[in-house]
Amino acid sequence: TLQGAALDARVVAADHDRVLHSWSAQAHLPDFVVAGGLGSTVWNHEGRRWLDFSSQLVNTNIGHQHPAVVEAIREQASVLTTIAPSTANRTRAEAAERILARAPEGMRKVFFTNGGADAIENSIRMARLHTGRDKVVSTYRSYHGNTGAAVVATGDWRRIPNEFARGHVHVFGPYLYRSEFWATTVEEERDRALHHLERVIQAEGPTSVAAILLETIPGTAGVLVPPPGYLAGVREIADRYGIVLILDEVMAGFGRTGSWLALDQHDVRPDLVAFAKGVNSGYVPAGGVMVSAEIAATFDERVFPGGLTYSGHPLAMAAIVATLDAMEREGIVENAARVGRDVLGPGLAALAATNPLVGEVRGTGVFWAVELVSDRDTREPVSAATMADVKSRLLAAGYLPFVAENRVHVVPPCVITPDEARQGLDLLAGVLSDVAAAGTA
């Protein structure tokens, strides 16, 4: 039996031979193996270790292999591993209770899904059925998942080869560093983005618009923390035209921003909240929609025409209950806030002040983006080749990164210790200084 580096090589060969991977040309897959992990660290079969500054796809908020969550899954498996969604089940009811305890005011019920995309899919469906309208307004700088309506609501490049759903309209959201509105202050950016949103809705015909769908903080698009007052302004526009406001908290939710939900830091009351990822750190696939009392009531006497075989799957529900209880008990959300405030925020600001490649850093909690530019004045993004160089140097240094376009997203688990956070920042600063010194950006 193979071990160590030989086993890693065998796993890569077998995987690349038979597994068709997401979002990739299959002839150009990376050969990175993860055999195990604990907390903020992962390792391969050879025993090489990496600090996980990606949280995988920004989902392992509670870190790898949290013992209480692993045990809860084991325990649930010994009692009941699966059950139809139509039955009442104790673990599912407890999961809904735990989620609603952290939900914004006015939320009444939870519809469970298998992940984030189908949470978006069903929130759009609820908004359409509730309003009797069709169109969904979302932003170009967004990612909402890889299914029918979710991928077309998505603004980024992944939408374009998949545009088979109807009724989707896109707008630009606020992003001062690369303003679409010639804004030079946060207030200008906010006000002009709101004006643009309202004008698009007016031009589309407000009575045809079912929903405004926004990531509370657009994540994959660059951790674009909205200006103070922006989301409250969106709420006002939604109210003015009878439009449902859906907030996508799939990436930003459950501790990532240093609060339970990202929306807790903004003055906004959504009608529907889509969640997944951090709700149970992806230990068992799960997602869902928090539903306001008003929208829930739409389906009191009328059939909700939606469902999934694994909606409220007991193993996923047990993982949710255990994850949220452990996060509460161990102060994990507070830890994310503290690490962001005391270590990542100041550390990244120092990096921006000293490294010429860094155009801007922004974020909150354990949710940050470092935007790399070849020229700080023109803000020209660094090339794809430079990003590939940054990524491979980080991996070689023992730092597992999340890279998107010209950015490194600094998104470790919410359980990361201040020491680990400093260690990761040192590795990142070292690599970016080597790349700057190489002068190829």
- Which chain residues interact with ligand PLP by CB under 6 A? 57, 115-117, 120, 143-145, 215, 219-220, 248, 250-251, 276, 287
Residue 402 C-beta: closest distance to ligand PLP, Å:
11
| Those residues with Cβ within 8 angstroms of residue 242's Cβ, 6 or more apart along the chain or in another chain | 131, 206, 207
Residue 95 corresponds to which tokens in the numbers above? 């999961």
Reported residue count of the chain is 441
Using the minimum distance from each CB to ligand PLP, give the nearer residue, 126 or 250. 250
Using the minimum distance from each CB to ligand PLP, give the nearer residue, 173 or 219. 219
Q: What angle do CA 331, 252, 143 make, to 5 degrees?
A: 160
Using the minimum distance from each CB to ligand PLP, give the nearer residue, 115 or 413. 115
Using the minimum distance from each CB to ligand PLP, give the nearer residue, 148 or 398. 148
Query: Concatenated DSSP letters for 79-145?
Result: H-S---TTS--HHHHHHHHHHHHTSPTTEEEEEEESSHHHHHHHHHHHHHHHHT--EEEEESS----
Using the minimum distance from each CB to ligand PLP, give the nearer residue, 209 or 316. 316
Using the minimum distance from each CB to ligand PLP, give the nearer residue, 285 or 345. 285
Using the minimum distance from each CB to ligand PLP, give the nearer residue, 154 or 406. 154
Tell me the residue nearest to ligand PLP as measured from the CB.
116
Q: Do 119 and 308 touch, CB atoms closer than 8 A?
A: no
Q: Give the integer Cα–Cα distance in Å for 334 and 140.
A: 32
Using the minimum distance from each CB to ligand PLP, give the nearer residue, 323 or 386. 323
Residue 276 C-beta: closest distance to ligand PLP, Å:
5
Residue 436 C-beta: closest distance to ligand PLP, Å:
30
**How deeply is 226 buried, as exposed, middle or buried, from its count of CB atoms within 10 A (0-12, 13-18, 19+)?**
buried
Residue 231 corresponds to which tokens in the numbers above? 């989301």
Q: Do 287 and 144 touch, CB atoms closer than 8 A?
A: no
Residue 24 C-beta: closest distance to ligand PLP, Å:
15
- Residues facing residue 38 across a β-bridge: 41
Residue 185 C-beta: closest distance to ligand PLP, Å:
27
Residue 248 C-beta: closest distance to ligand PLP, Å:
5
Q: Do 212 and 238 touch, CB atoms closer than 8 A?
A: yes
Using the minimum distance from each CB to ligand PLP, give the nearer residue, 273 or 441. 273
Sign of CA pseudo-dihedral 382, 388, 394, 396: negative
Residue 165 C-beta: closest distance to ligand PLP, Å:
15
Q: Do 369 and 401 touch, CB atoms closer than 8 A?
A: no
| Those residues with Cβ within 8 angstroms of residue 229's Cβ, 6 or more apart along the chain or in another chain | 190, 267
Q: Which of 325, 421, 404, 405 is nearest to 366 (CA)?
A: 421
Residue 249 C-beta: closest distance to ligand PLP, Å:
8
Residue 152 C-beta: closest distance to ligand PLP, Å:
13
